[in-house]
């Protein structure tokens, strides 16, 4: 399941729903500082406060961001210059219901966005696939770190692939995107909602709650847990979520100093690919009950290759498309939009009404 505008009304600052493009520069840069004072000790000043969820994967991504900032800017390498602030989100607290029933994956970012807008943190580190289609007004996302492997990992104690699972086997996944593609190719299998962080889901699998599960390979790799993967699914068998494997870092749109720091870390190939995929998602205007998948990448000829998918949750209807064109911002934005319009027309208005 991809990130959608489900919890709050988000607005684009820059004409693009992703707010990833061409950040506007504003005068009077301001350096915000968090001051922590110990009794009898000199105040320590944090130049950057990083906001993040508290899961092991979220913390690994925040630590990666911190290390990259320290390596790129000498003043940030000093002790105490960067503080990591853990923020608990609604999505972290409600684990017994499907995401669609509690408002979608925007619930993993809202509290962090609020902290950013209120000045309690200076930057926010997100898994890009959790970021809603439209960013909150007053924030911008000028940085994507280099993208990890976009593929999904199959994890099972009794079979080497989805195809080897006996009919009736239960596969656990909270992702409608994964559920629909599994049922499309393997209708004899049963899929159930399966939430929790990586460690929790692996524990539930070992306890026999399900026969198998799928996890993003990127998360396993960042947690140094890739050895848990039984097999890695090709993108042909399981098209990834929009922006899967990408880390995004947001700041306030009027904070030039933070924007300067983040721009120095930005990986442009990743930013363009993520932008293309999110434009596709924005056109489809999917809700939290819409399985959507997309993948844009630079091919061996240096061009952008794009694949997109829209399906029904039970896998009975699947619409796919592909595009190729120059690896440039304007071309990739149009590529994503055009692909979205094609699948929207193929599916027809009744398709989306049936998902409400």
Question: Which residues are marked as active site?
Answer: 130
List the structure tokens of 191. 């899929």
Q: Which of 318, 319, 323 is nearest to 338 (CA)?
A: 323
**CA pair distance 54, 152, nearest whole angstrom:** 23
Query: 3-class DSSP state for residue 190?
Result: strand
Helical residues (DSSP H) of the chain, grouped into ranges:
56-72, 90-93, 99-102, 110-117, 176-185, 198-206, 217-222, 256-263, 268-284, 329-347, 349-353
User: Between the CA of residue 78 and those of 18, 69, 83, 223, 346, what are the distances in Å?
Assistant: 33, 11, 11, 26, 55
Angle at 270 between CA 110 and CA 69, to 5 degrees: 70
Task: Assign residue 315 a region (left: φ > 0; alpha: ψ between -120 and 50; beta: otherwise).
Answer: left
What are the phi and psi torsion angles at 137 (to 5°)?
-60, 135
CB atoms within 10 A of CB 246: 24
Structure tokens at 258: 């933070």
Task: Write out the two tokens for 49.
Answer: 């406060």
Find tokens 């922006």 and name the residue. 243
């Amino acid at each position: 399941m991809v990130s959608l505008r489900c919890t709050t009304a988000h607005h684009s600052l820059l004409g693009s729903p992703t707010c990833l493009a061409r950040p506007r520069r504003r005068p009077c840069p301001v350096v915000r500082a968090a001051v922590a004072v110990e009794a009898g000790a000199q105040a320590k000043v944090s130049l950057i406060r990083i906001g993040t969820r508290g899961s092991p994967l979220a913390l690994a991504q925040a630590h990666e961001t911190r290390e990259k900032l320290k390596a790129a800017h000498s003043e940030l390498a000093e002790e105490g210059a960067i503080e990591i602030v853990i923020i608990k989100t609604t999505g972290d607290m409600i684990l017994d219901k499907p995401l669609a029933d509690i408002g979608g994956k925007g619930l993993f970012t809202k509290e962090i966005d609020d902290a950013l807008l209120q000045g309690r943190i200076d930057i926010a580190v997100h898994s890009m696939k959790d970021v809603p289609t439209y960013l909150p007004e007053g924030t911008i996302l000028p940085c994507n770190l280099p993208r990890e492997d976009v593929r999904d990992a199959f994890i099972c104690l009794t079979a080497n692939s989805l195809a080897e699972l006996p009919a009736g086997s239960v596969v656990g996944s909270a992702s409608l995107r994964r559920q629909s593609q599994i049922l499309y190719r393997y209708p004899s299998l049963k899929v159930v909602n399966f939430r929790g962080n990586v460690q929790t889901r692996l524990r539930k699998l070992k306890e026999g709650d399900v026969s198998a599960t799928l996890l993003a390979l990127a998360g396993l790799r960042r947690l140094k847990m890739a050895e848990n993967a039984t097999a890695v699914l090709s993108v042909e068998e399981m098209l990834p979520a929009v922006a899967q494997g990408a880390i995004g870092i947001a700041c306030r749109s009027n904070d030039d100093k933070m924007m300067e720091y983040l721009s120095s870390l930005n990986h442009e190939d990743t930013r363009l690919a993520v932008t293309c995929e999110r434009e596709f998602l924005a056109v489809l205007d999917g809700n939290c009950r819409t399985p959507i998948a997309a993948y844009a990448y630079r091919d061996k000829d240096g061009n952008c290759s794009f694949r997109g998918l829209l399906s029904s949750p039970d896998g009975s209807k699947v619409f796919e498309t592909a595009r190729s064109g120059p690896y440039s911002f304007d071309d990739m934005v149009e590529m994503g939009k055009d692909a979205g319009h094609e699948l929207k027309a193929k599916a027809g208005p009744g398709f989306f009404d049936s998902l409400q």
